[in-house]
Amino acid sequence: MTSQEQMDALFAEARRAADAAYAPYSHFRVGAALLADDGTVFSGCNVENRSYGLTICAERNAVLQGVAKGRRAFTALAISTPDSAGPVGPCGACRQVLSEFMAPGAPVRFGGSGEAVDTTMGALLPYDSLHELADS
């Protein structure tokens, strides 16, 4: 179980991660913080590219940071978009990649400078499929 205090701390870490965003094209900073099953936190920011399509979202950056350090299970996620007032959820590509390493019940919080949304991985990616491929 992830406590509210843990989610608050994770969200604060996501906000800090957004400060490292490389977003000269959109000017839209995003930070993500993932809690690994051993208690370690991995964070990431969006990294844009002048070819636009090669932009890496903060969420996928955070997943790759964790996997590169040997973690393959993440129990909670927070996303901060300080340049928006309202909450901005993860893009479709990130939902798919996150679902590879997060259970449907894992809590997710995302928010801008105002109110945040608390939801779950499963709510963000319902009717998730292809899990049988990962079991082989």
3 state DSSP class of 107: strand
Which range, of 8-16, 53-61, 96-104, 116-124, touches ligand THU by CB under 6 A?
A: 53-61
The amino acid present at 53, given as its one-letter code, is G
SS3 of 11-32: the string is HHHHHHHHCCCECCCCCCCCEE
CB-CB contact of 83 with 27 (8 Å): yes
Considering only residues 17, 30, 35, 36, which one is a binding residue for ligand THU as defined by CB under 6 A?
A: 30
The catalytic residue among 48, 59, 115, 132 is 59
Considering only residues 3, 4, 26, 113, which one is a binding residue for ligand THU as defined by CB under 6 A?
A: 26
Considering only residues 91, 92, 104, 113, which one is a binding residue for ligand THU as defined by CB under 6 A?
A: 91
132 is catalytic: no
For position 98 contacting ligand THU by CB under 6 A, the verdict is no
For position 46 contacting ligand THU by CB under 6 A, the verdict is yes
| 66-104 as b/e: b if 16+ CB within 10 A | bbeeebeebbbbbbbbbbeeebbbbeeebbebbbebbee
CB-CB contact of 74 with 66 (8 Å): yes
For position 58 contacting ligand THU by CB under 6 A, the verdict is yes
Which range, of 4-12, 35-43, 88-96, 118-126, touches ligand THU by CB under 6 A?
A: 88-96
Instruction: Point out the residues that are catalytic.
Output: 59
The residues that touch ligand THU, with contacts defined as CB under 6 A, are: 23, 26, 28, 30, 46, 48, 55, 57-59, 90-91, 94
